[in-house]
């Protein structure tokens, strides 16, 4: 980073204090309430429907799934105390924690689990991760603490898929009353006491949380769209803890002696999504030309200050491919121009690319670099920036030529991509691409239990997807959080989760 740029950003943060951008932050009496800030607010409260990272980060503190993943991406108990796959892998049985209670005081029972998954599987719900659970043929509830998922086929990734907040357990009574999403009744470590959209959230500790006593009595979250203002608030000790999305701002945190930066590589990936159902992206050669024209390293260095790693479709360490093994991962403009000519577009074409303001904060910069790079092969991109909620709605409808996006990763390749790239995927209209090879590889990987064989299957999947180029995978980045020195016990996670705040404490 240049000295001028660094000085400019620090001056901006100082100016934020001078202009009083941080003085409206809620200040609570007593050290037991964590004062927190982030730049993007949740777009809704229905855990089964939300796709925005900002929504997931809030809801994972309020709701609980059957299991969670630890910092090593291994399953650990949440609502479920234990689980067992049958020998033939055709059923999965959970024993629920008898101490688990919803925020309304009701015990979490097998009936709530059954109702939650039936709601997720109901197409009318439009659940974000429905495709991950289609192997569930029926659900038995022999007693209040036992749930048996009977499967239509072996489904190796099902357990980790159940760790998602998109599979959160909600009260059967809330489902019956049609109230899911109108209020947040979960069983997680915190209760949502107040939500002022795009202003602040007030969380209070759930004294009856089955996971034990939380480290703080509550969390007051302020939404500050300008992350320089967040840094200024941290410097002024108006904020104890903050989620940082902008790598430029994150690089400034270590310069402040009173602050600590938490940085961990994440599974989420930055991607240029093409729409293969729209001409000329219907042409394989055009999509491949775009892949060959993109200089991923240049985008990474420009938009993320090099704070990341170039990646193919699979981002989890166990299955990740080397980029050099994938189709056209080194920029090749001559090959790109030839592919364009072969497809009948030697003179190029015009298209629109959509991007959200703020999620990720690098989206506009990524779009601008892509615009410049693709112009080299005659593609004229019109950049359309949208507010996050508008972007999400447009994205879910698949109503775009191209989209700059930051998509969530998963611990397992199948649960990461089956909703996009299988014939039964519920987000097919977002991807608009499927072929028999992809679908076959996904199904084989779903039932294969041998780790070495699964790696072979998904390596082939990774290479095939990169070659067909329905999307242009760019890179993975980091999750950043910043905290005061007296904040203790927070553990970062590769999935970007803030669930570690449940056991975070404030030292005197």
Task: Write down the number of H helices and E strands in the chain.
Answer: 16, 19
Tokens of 29: 């009496």
Whole-angstrom Cα distance, residue 89 to residue 94?
14
Q: Measuring CA to CA, how many Å separate 270 from each of 82, 86, 240?
A: 35, 38, 29
Residue 7 is predicted with a pLDDT of: 35
Please say if the pLDDT value at position 15 is more than 70: no
446 — pLDDT class (breaks 50, 70, 90): very high
Residue 449 is predicted with a pLDDT of: 86
Residue 283 is predicted with a pLDDT of: 98
Tokens of 250: 């994150």
DSSP label of 153: S
Neighbouring C-alpha atoms within 13 Å toward the C-beta of 29: 0
27 — pLDDT class (breaks 50, 70, 90): very low
Whole-angstrom Cα distance, residue 456 to residue 413?
12
Task: Give backbone dihedrals phi and psi of 80, rounded to 5 degrees, phi first.
Answer: -85, 135
pLDDT mean over 411-428: 94
Residue 89 is predicted with a pLDDT of: 83
105-122 tens-digit pLDDT: 999 999 999 999 999 999
Of 282, 297, 267, nearest to 469 (Cα)? 282
Asked whether the beta carbons of 409 and 160 are under 8 A apart, the reply is: no
Q: Which of 1-10, 49-58, 67-76, 417-426 has the lowest mean pLDDT?
A: 1-10
For 300-346, give the secondary structure using H, E and C. Answer: HHHHCCCCCEECCCCCCCCCCCCHHHCCCCCCCHHHHHHHHHHCCCC
Residue 16 is predicted with a pLDDT of: 37
226-247 tens-digit pLDDT: 999 999 999 999 999 999 999 9
DSSP label of 222: E
Element (H or E) spanning 227, and its range? helix 227-235
- Domains, the chain, ranges and CATH? 3-60+188-258+485-506 (3.40.190.10), 67-177 (3.90.76.10), 266-477 (3.10.105.10)
356 — pLDDT class (breaks 50, 70, 90): very high
Tokens of 2: 């240049």
Percent of all residues in the chain with a pLDDT value above 70, rounded to a whole number: 94
Of 221, 225, 218, nearest to 36 (Cα)? 221
For 6-70, give the secondary structure using H, E and C. Answer: HHHHHHHHHHHHHCCCCCCCCCCCCCCEEEEEECCCCCCCCCCCCCCHHHHHHHCCCCCCCEEEC
Please say if the pLDDT value at position 276 is more than 50: yes
23 — pLDDT class (breaks 50, 70, 90): very low
Please say if the pLDDT value at position 388 is more than 70: yes
DSSP label of 502: G
Element (H or E) spanning 355, and its range? strand 349-356
13 — pLDDT class (breaks 50, 70, 90): very low
Residue 130 is predicted with a pLDDT of: 96
pTM of the model: 0.87
Please say if the pLDDT value at position 355 is more than 80: yes
Whole-angstrom Cα distance, residue 358 to residue 352?
19
Q: Which ranges of 328-482 does DSSP label H, i.e. alpha helix? A: 333-342, 363-375, 388-397, 413-421, 428-431, 436-447, 451-468
Residue 360 is predicted with a pLDDT of: 87
Can you tell me which residue has the tokens 């689980």? 83
Please say if the pLDDT value at position 167 is more than 60: yes
31 — pLDDT class (breaks 50, 70, 90): very low
Residue 358 is predicted with a pLDDT of: 80
Percent of all residues in the chain with a pLDDT value above 90, rounded to a whole number: 89
Can you tell me which residue has the tokens 């003179």? 347
Residue 247 is predicted with a pLDDT of: 92
Asked whether the beta carbons of 117 and 127 are under 8 A apart, the reply is: no
Please say if the pLDDT value at position 26 is more than 70: no
Please say if the pLDDT value at position 99 is more than 90: yes
pLDDT mean over 83-106: 95
Residue 28 is predicted with a pLDDT of: 37
Whole-angstrom Cα distance, residue 104 to residue 297?
50
Tokens of 120: 């997720």
Of 43, 11, 239, nearest to 128 (Cα)? 43
Asked whether the beta carbons of 21 and 224 are under 8 A apart, the reply is: yes
Please say if the pLDDT value at position 33 is more than 60: yes
Please say if the pLDDT value at position 271 is more than 50: yes
295-339 tens-digit pLDDT: 999 999 999 999 999 999 999 999 999 999 999 999 999 999 999
User: Rounded to the nearest 10 degrees, how much is the dihedral formed by the CA atoms of 384, 127, 157, 359?
Assistant: 30
Residue 359 is predicted with a pLDDT of: 82
What integer best gives the mean pLDDT of the chain? 92
pLDDT mean over 239-262: 96
Asked whether the beta carbons of 250 and 263 are under 8 A apart, the reply is: yes
Compute how many other C-beta atoms are within 10 angstroms of the C-beta atom of residue 490.
Answer: 20
């Amino acid at each position: 980073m240049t000295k001028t740029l660094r000085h400019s950003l620090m001056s901006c943060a100082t100016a934020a204090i001078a202009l009083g951008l941080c003085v409206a932050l809620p200040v609570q009496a007593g050290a037991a309430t964590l004062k927190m800030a982030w730049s993007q607010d949740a777009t809704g409260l229905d855990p089964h429907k939300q796709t925005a990272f900002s929504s997931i980060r809030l809801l994972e503190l309020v709701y609980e799934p059957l299991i969670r993943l630890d910092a090593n991406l291994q399953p650990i108990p949440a609502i479920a105390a234990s689980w067992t796959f049958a020998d033939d892998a055709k059923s999965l049985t959970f024993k629920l924690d008898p101490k688990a209670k919803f925020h309304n005081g009701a015990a979490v029972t097998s009936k709530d689990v059954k109702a939650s998954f039936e709601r997720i599987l109901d197409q009318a719900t439009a659940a974000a991760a429905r495709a991950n659970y289609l192997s569930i043929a029926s659900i038995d509830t022999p007693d209040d603490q036992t749930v048996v998922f009977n499967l239509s086929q072996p489904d190796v990734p099902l357990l980790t898929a159940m760790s998602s907040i998109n599979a959160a357990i909600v009260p059967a009574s809330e489902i019956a009353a049609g109230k899911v999403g109108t209020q947040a009744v979960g069983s997680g470590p915190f209760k949502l006491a107040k939500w002022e959209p795009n202003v602040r959230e007030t969380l209070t500790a759930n004294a009856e949380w089955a996971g034990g006593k939380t480290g703080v009595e509550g969390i007051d979250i302020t939404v500050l769209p300008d992350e320089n203002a967040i840094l200024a608030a941290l410097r002024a000790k108006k904020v104890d803890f903050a989620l940082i999305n902008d790598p430029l701002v994150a690089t400034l945190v270590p310069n402040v002696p009173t602050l600590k930066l938490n940085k961990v590589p994440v599974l989420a990936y930055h991607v240029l999504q093409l729409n293969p159902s729209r001409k000329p992206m219907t042409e394989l050669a055009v999509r491949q030309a775009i892949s060959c024209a993109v200089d991923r390293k240049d985008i990474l260095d420009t938009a993320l200050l090099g704070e990341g790693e170039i990646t193919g479709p699979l981002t989890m360490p166990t299955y990740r491919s080397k980029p050099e093994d994938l189709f056209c991962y080194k920029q090749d403009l001559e090959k790109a121009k030839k592919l364009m000519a072969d497809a009948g577009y030697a003179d190029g074409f015009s298209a629109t690319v959509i991007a959200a303001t703020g999620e990720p904060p690098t989206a506009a910069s990524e779009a601008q670099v892509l615009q410049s790079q693709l112009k080299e092969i005659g593609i004229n991109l019109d950049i359309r920036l949208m507010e996050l909620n508008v972007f999400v709605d447009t994205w879910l409808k698949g109503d775009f030529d191209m989209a700059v996006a930051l998509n969530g990763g998963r611990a397992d390749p199948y649960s990461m991509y089956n909703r996009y790239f299988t014939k039964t995927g519920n987000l097919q209209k977002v991807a608009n691409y499927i072929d028999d090879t992809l679908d076959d590889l996904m199904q084989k990987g779903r039932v294969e239990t041998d780790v070495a064989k699964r790696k072979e299957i998904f390596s082939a999947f990774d290479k095939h997807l990169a070659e067909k180029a329905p999307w242009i995978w760019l890179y993975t980045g980091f999750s950043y959080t910043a905290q005061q020195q007296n904040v203790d016990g927070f553990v970062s996670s590769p999935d970007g989760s803030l669930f570690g705040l449940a056991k975070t404490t404030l030292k005197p």
